Structure 1
Amino acid sequence: MPETTPSKSLFDDAYAGGAAPWVIGEPQPAIVELERRGAISGAVLDAGCGAGEHTILLTDLGYDVLGIDFSARAVDLAGHNAAGRGVAARFEVADATRLGGGPRFDTVIDSALFHVFDDTDRVRYVDSLRSVCRPGALVHVLALSDAGRGFGPQVSEVDVRTAFTDGWRIEALETTTYRGVVGPAHADALGLPVGARVEEPAWLARVRRT
């Protein structure tokens, strides 16, 4: 787990420099498979939407989706990507640890957001999600596993299970993979060139709001 939650400026700089290792130009295969299996329904929140790939995919398929990110640069990039594909996707700048407005989402997609939080911010994040999820809502969390090589922040099975306790029921916690692009910060540790594609071990959790 990260010792501290990365700063907003770190994410802004990654997007501005075109070096965000999680921007791969396509949706994560694990998220695509969730949709194929019918695990997404109703009003959808794409928490930490980044470049918007999942919001764009689901909007294009007819879902009611809102993508949020606390990086304005990410939201600008997501809007640009959606416009380039002719998809009228919705994006907003928002802090996922401070959501408000009452329960209004039936599904939440979290692709590589949960794992960036330290212990304190993870509690705030899960509490924030609970405040905007309707009873019975599903949260799908795709997070880098501590079985990985250090491509990015990693979490353990205990981290996931501990975070979702009061007001939640974990229905499934499976192993899968997360696709990324090696950036300068991780090239030496991974022994791979910058720009190389990787598939790292990840958790895929299905969590029900009770």
Structure 2
Amino acid sequence: MEPTVPRSVFDSAYETRSAPWIIGEPQPAIVELEHAGWIRGSVLDPGTGLGEHTIYLARRGYDVEGVDFSAPAVAQARANAAAQGVEARFEVADALRLGSEPRYDTVVDSALFHVFGPGDRAAYTRSLHAVCRPGARVFVLALSDAEPGIGPRISDTVIRDAFADGWVLESLKPSRYRVLIGADDAPRLGLPAGEHADMAAWLARVRREP
């Protein structure tokens, strides 16, 4: 069974700000979703990291909560929101155990789903189902194995299988995920270190069944 990335890896990445997903801005694919009117009602940003998407949505008036199991990430997300003068809610929480009260209408998952192994993917989709209201939509932006890239990359089948029970897959299409190229990855990818690049990704839209 493929392993899920341990918490210590994320804590270290946020403490050193060395991770390729720390780009200092929201993902363009998520911004496009908001511009298209897909973000509605009460919003959950699981795996919020440094809070870029929660801050972006809160600034635009959405009722949004960012959660992450990394305490250093949440501390920095709160500091980032304060520095930008944005009132945003962040909590330390395990995305596999979000509770049992249906309270969200939209979930924006930017690069969380693809870090889970098979068992945790099942737990994650059950956890989301429990806290999403009937008809709520989950958007999953995940790195794709269609091209060489950075980090854990998955096939579209992984997304389809994980959201098979209790969900309707409305859309699954190729997208891009912006990363910061590190010195270790630059030679392999033939890209300059320290610059942004857009990696192959999937963007899924899934609706919670009643």
User: What is residue 165 of structure 2 aligned with on the other side?
Assistant: 166
Secondary structure of the 1:137 match is strand
Give the CA deviation at 1:3: 2.3
Q: Normalized against structure 1, the TM-score is what?
A: 0.96
Q: Percent identity?
A: 60
| CA displacement, residues 80-110 of structure 1 (integer Å, 9 cap, x when unaligned) | 1101100000000001011104111000000
Whether 2:125 is the aligned partner of 1:126: answer yes
Divergent runs of 4+, >6 A = none
One-letter amino acid matched to 1:100: G
Give the CA deviation at 1:185: 4.5
User: What is residue 55 of structure 1 aligned with on the other side?
Assistant: 54
One-letter amino acid matched to 1:89: A
| CA displacement, residues 120-147 of structure 1 (integer Å, 9 cap, x when unaligned) | 1111111110010000000000000111
Which stretch of structure 1 is more off in the superposition, 11-20 or 193-202? 193-202
User: What is residue 25 of structure 1 aligned with on the other side?
Assistant: 24
Q: Please show how residues 188-203 of structure 1 align to structure 2 within 5 Å.
A: 188-203=187-202
On the 8 A contact 2:113/2:121 being kept in 1, the answer is: yes
One-letter amino acid matched to 1:129: L
CA distance in 2, matches of 1:24, 1:171: 29
On the 8 A contact 1:56/1:82 being kept in 2, the answer is: yes
How well do the aligned residues superpose, as a CA RMSD in angstroms? 1.2
On the 8 A contact 1:144/1:154 being kept in 2, the answer is: yes
CA distance in 2, matches of 1:184, 1:122: 30
CA distance in 1, matches of 2:67, 2:151: 21
Give the CA deviation at 1:20: 1.4
Where does structure 1 lack aligned partners over 5 or more consecutive residues? Answer: none
Where does structure 2 lack aligned partners over 5 or more consecutive residues? Answer: none
Give the CA deviation at 1:186: 2.7
Give the CA deviation at 1:17: 1.1
Secondary structure of the 2:33 match is helix
CA distance in 1, matches of 2:4, 2:56: 28
Secondary structure of the 2:198 match is strand
